[in-house]
């Protein structure tokens, strides 16, 4: 395997400074030496893992400190070189990154979940650590994602039980977390890599049936592309790139479960992606497409004006295309495309490149960004949790990591909620008081019942009534654990009061 340090010195944010190059080279030599003679379970030299991890974060555009820490990320754990040595050689900042990754290293997801009653605490503590690391220094998570990606690629070398545990943890925790941070590329990779371990039969079916559909889809889009190129040119739009994106196996799998494994029901198996110069060109291109082919009503999605909660921006439209075949187009600028793949890592890399300041200062600039708000929210949540540890993992999965919809407040603020959420969930999401006093709701201007299932893009207005109390019937339909807990708490208080009154009356 080729492991040339020069590969780590390429960056998309312009040439690296001489000192940065030297730093990476030094970390490269140090890690290589530290892991000398060690092997991975696969039989590869251990250093391969460090190199691949570093290559990944370099590809995400992260700076020399992160690349160096990625090279060094296992030296404190797997070798005699203790953390102290790393600090002496590379300074506090890199040592603290390495330390952060090392501390995150010890999840025992499934194994311990099975032994819930005995030591469930331990699992929840690990996730607390994960969330804490996320809010303390987001760069630790970038390294962890890269580390996990390479571990998943070499998972075959591990014994089966361990394989399944790591795959499950990847699928249920790491991938949704990456997705939530807008790192859809890493999220998709992580999910795809888990698939053969978690759903072997379905995976086999997919690789037997999907590739042929991809080929057909691409051949078809070649024809469409020619027509589109002609019309774009006529109208003065010069696209930077037109390519075809094939849907990931893991997302095909999720969709197929809803459609009885019928591949023909999935319109966006292969979609056309058009990268243009400016936001203006995005809309122009959409207009040109609609001029040639009629759009499907209700399938035009403007994530440029209204980005998804994870920051995703793009215009999607689905049209009756050549031969009336239903076809999806995605239109976006280059920057949107970059961010759509690397999400918060792209934002961070951008902050890094722009703010030539020490880490702490950059962090402050970054924390003000909207993308960081979710992390703050997550951290406040974990700090406020009571020691009921079992509920902890459930809420984390349910309230934060599940499939999301996003809804809009009358002021235009975008909020995200788990799939299936109701106006009551939305009310509690805003504030517990808003939830408690919720007396009705309007969706898109119309009054609806409180158990109404919200959909992405809905404008939701909560009607409040002072001193109103939640009803226990709400527990039947609310989706988020946060709402459930608030409702139960109020009901408990009410019950206590009632029984006190009852006792007084009895006396």
CA distances from 487 to 92, 131, 160, 260, 416 (A): 46, 26, 43, 37, 20
Contact 139, 69 (CB under 8 A): yes
The four Cα atoms 41, 44, 50, 55 give a dihedral, to 10 degrees, of -130
If the CB atoms of residues 53 and 184 are measured against Mn ion, the closer one turns out to be: 53
Which residues are catalytically annotated? 77-78
Using DSSP bridges, classify how beta strands 270-276 and 446-448 pair: parallel, antiparallel or unpaired. unpaired
Q: How far is the CB of 24 from Mn ion (least distance, A)?
A: 18
List residues near Mn ion by CB under 5 A: 74, 147
Q: How far is the CB of 44 from Mn ion (least distance, A)?
A: 13
Minimum distance from residue 39 beta carbon to Mn ion (Å): 14
Report, in Å, the least distance between residue 119 CB and Mn ion: 24
Nearer to Mn ion, 65 or 73 (CB): 73
**If DSSP codes are grouped into helix, strand and coil, which group holds residue 26?**
helix
CB closer to Mn ion out of 112 and 147 = 147
Do 186 and 237 meet the contact criterion of CB atoms below 8 Å apart?
Answer: no
Query: E strands of 197-351, at which residues?
Result: 241-246, 270-276, 301-302, 315-320, 326-333
Q: Which tokens is 473 given?
A: 């019937």
Identify which of residues 147 and 458 has a Cβ nearer to Mn ion in the complex: 147
Nearer to Mn ion, 147 or 339 (CB): 147
| Secondary-structure breakdown of the chain: helix, strand, coil percentages, each rounded to the nearest 5 | 65, 10, 25
SS3 29: helix
Secondary structure of 341-398 as H, E, C letters: HHHHHHHHHHHHHHCCCCHHHHHHHHHCCHHHHHHHHHHHHHHCCCCCHHHHHHHHHH
Task: Provide, rounded to whole angstroms, the least separation between the CB of residue 146 and Mn ion.
Answer: 9
Closest residue to Mn ion: CB criterion: 147
The one-character DSSP state at 295 is B
CA distances (Å), origin 44, targets 39, 40, 48, 156, 157: 6, 5, 7, 13, 10
**Nearest approach, Cβ of residue 123 and Mn ion (Å):** 20
CB atoms within 10 A of CB 214: 14
Nearest approach in angstroms of CB 203 to Mn ion is: 25
Q: Which residues 6+ apart lie within 8 Å of 52 measured at CB?
A: 146, 150, 153
For 166, residues 6+ apart whose C-beta sits below 8 A from its C-beta are 109, 151, 152, 155, 158
In sequence order, the 6+-apart residues with CB closer than 8 A to the CB of 161 are none
Structure tokens at 178: 């990456």
Q: How far is the CB of 147 from Mn ion (least distance, A)?
A: 4
Quick one: 126 or 382, whose CB is closer to Mn ion?
Answer: 126
Least CB distance to Mn ion at residue 49 (A) = 6
Q: Is the dihedral of CA 166, 171, 172, 174 positive or negative?
A: positive
Rounded CA separation 73/100 (Å): 9
Q: Which is nearer to Mn ion, 74 or 338 (CB)?
A: 74
328: phi then psi, degrees, rounded to nearest 5? -100, 140
Q: Which is nearer to Mn ion, 58 or 393 (by Cβ)?
A: 58
Contact by Cβ (8 Å): 200, 194? no
| Cβ neighbourhood burial of 83 (10 Å; 0-12, 13-18, 19+) | middle
- 74 vs 425, which CB is nearer to Mn ion? 74
Q: How far apart are CA 83 and CA 142, in angstroms?
A: 20
**To the nearest whole angstrom, how small is the minimum distance from the Cβ of residue 83 to Mn ion?**
15
Nearer to Mn ion, 99 or 147 (CB): 147
């Amino acid at each position: 395997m080729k492991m040339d340090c020069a590969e780590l010195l390429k960056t998309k944010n312009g040439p690296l400074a001489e000192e940065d190059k030297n730093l990476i080279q030094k970390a490269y030599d140090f890690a290589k030496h530290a892991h000398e003679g060690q092997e991975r379970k696969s039989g590869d030299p251990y250093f391969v893992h460090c190199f691949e991890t570093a290559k990944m974060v370099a590809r995400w555009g992260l700076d020399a400190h992160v690349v160096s820490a990625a090279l060094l990320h296992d030296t404190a754990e797997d070798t005699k070189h203790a953390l102290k040595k790393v600090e002496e050689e590379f300074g506090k900042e890199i040592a603290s990154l390495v330390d952060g990754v090392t501390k995150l290293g010890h999840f025992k997801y499934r194994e311990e979940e099975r032994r819930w009653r005995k030591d469930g605490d331990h699992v929840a503590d690990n996730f607390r650590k994960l969330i804490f690391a996320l809010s303390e220094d987001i760069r630790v998570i970038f390294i962890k994602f890269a580390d996990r990606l390479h571990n998943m690629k070499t998972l075959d070398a591990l014994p089966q039980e361990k394989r399944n545990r790591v795959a499950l943890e990847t699928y249920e925790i790491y991938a949704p977390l990456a997705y939530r941070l807008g790192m859809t590329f890493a999220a998709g990779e992580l999910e795809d890599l888990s698939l053969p371990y978690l759903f072997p039969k379905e995976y086999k079916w997919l690789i037997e049936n999907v590739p042929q559909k991809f080929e057909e889809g691409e051949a078809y889009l070649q024809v469409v592309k020619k027509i589109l190129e002609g019309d774009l040119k006529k109208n003065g739009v010069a696209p930077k790139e037109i390519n075809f994106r094939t849907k990931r196996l893991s997302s095909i799998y999720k969709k197929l479960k809803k459609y009885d494994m019928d591949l023909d029901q999935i319109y966006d198996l292969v979609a056309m992606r058009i990268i243009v110069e400016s936001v203006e060109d995005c809309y122009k291109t959409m207009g040109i497409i609609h001029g040639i082919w009629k759009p499907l009503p209700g399938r035009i999605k403007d994530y440029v004006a209204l980005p998804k909660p994870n920051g995703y921006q793009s215009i999607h439209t689905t049209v009756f295309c050549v031969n009336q075949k239903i076809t999806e187009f995605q239109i976006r600028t280059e920057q949107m495309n970059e961010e759509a793949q690397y999400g918060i890592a792209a934002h961070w890399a951008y902050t890094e490149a722009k703010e030539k300041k020490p880490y702490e200062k950059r962090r402050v600039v970054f924390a003000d960004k909207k993308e960081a708000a979710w992390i703050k929210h997550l951290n406040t949540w974990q700090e406020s949790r009571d020691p009921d540890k079992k509920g902890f993992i459930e809420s984390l999965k349910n309230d934060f990591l599940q499939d999301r919809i996003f809804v809009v407040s009358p002021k235009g603020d975008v909020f995200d909620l788990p799939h299936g959420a109701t106006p009551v969930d939305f009310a509690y999401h805003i504030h517990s008081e808003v939830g408690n006093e919720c007396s009705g709701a309007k969706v898109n201007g119309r009054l609806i019942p409180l158990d109404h299932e919200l959909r992405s893009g809905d404008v939701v207005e909560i009607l409040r009534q002072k001193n109103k109390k939640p009803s226990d019937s709400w527990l039947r339909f609310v989706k988020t654990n946060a709402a459930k807990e608030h409702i139960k708490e109020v009901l408990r208080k009410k019950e206590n009061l009632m029984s006190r009154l009852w006792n007084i009356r009895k006396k």
